[in-house]
Amino acid sequence: MTTAQVTALRTGLLAFIAIWGTLLFPQLIVQWARFGRLVPRRIVSTAAVLGYACLALSMVFLPVPGPGTRQLAQTIQLVPFQWITDVRTDMTGSGLLSALTTTAFEQMALNVLLFVPLGLFARLLWRRGLIGTTLLGFVCALAIELTQLTANWGTAPFQYRIFDVDDLITNTTGAALGWIAGALFLALRASKAPASAVGAKASRGERIDLTETR
């Protein structure tokens, strides 16, 4: 991870702390008024989504170019899976290890991982299907790429990030993988629930109806 990326993450973390610190107290008031108690799960969910948004956006858009920053030689990349060619170009030797340590592969992997939490949230919190989650990932990725293409909609002095079709592919893939991970988690939890219920009854000496586990 580069120094610029570390700085971006630090900025995103500070933004999260500031925003969540501002929203937490009103959220607690709303929960108490609506439910008559605090709901920790909702508080944690809000913090997780907000934290992810702050960190992801900071990674995508920061640092903003300052005085003396060189403009990009290439601003648009429309060749699908160009990252594979870039990996081959960046390899200093032969073999899988050499490919995995290239900048091109690391960038591709980071783009996938960046959207995995979005897929998890879509499945676990928002109960979206795989197709809906994939479309959500694509739309979010496209919005980011268009913002980069237009130099943050004209607010930046010039375009400082490449519009890359590979980013659309990898980000969308990350959202789909996150949904699959969330679905597997729910399936595993559901499969363990009947066994836990049977074990609890057995420990209390209650009669176990075997049809309940079918």
Shared-domain flag, residues 102 and 140: yes
Asked whether residue 70 is assigned to any structural domain, the reply reads no
Shared-domain flag, residues 81 and 59: no
**The pLDDT of residue 67 is above 90:** no
Q: What is the model's pLDDT at position 144?
A: 96
Shared-domain flag, residues 139 and 34: no
Q: Is 205 left (phi over 0), alpha (psi -120 to 50) or beta?
A: left
Query: Based on the structure, what is the number of domains in the chain?
Result: 2
**The pLDDT of residue 183 is above 90:** yes
- What's the whole-model pTM score? 0.86
157 DSSP assignment: S
Shared-domain flag, residues 52 and 93: no
- Give the residue numbers spanning the domain of 39: 1-63
Shared-domain flag, residues 100 and 147: yes
Q: pLDDT tens, 121-154? A: 999 999 999 999 999 999 999 999 999 999 999 9
pLDDT tier, 180 (very low <50, low <70, confident <90, very high otherwise)? very high
Q: How far apart are CA 118 and CA 141, in angstroms?
A: 11
Quickly tell me which residue has 């959207």 as its tokens. 115
Shared-domain flag, residues 197 and 159: yes
Q: For residue 55, give both structure tokens.
A: 């960190």
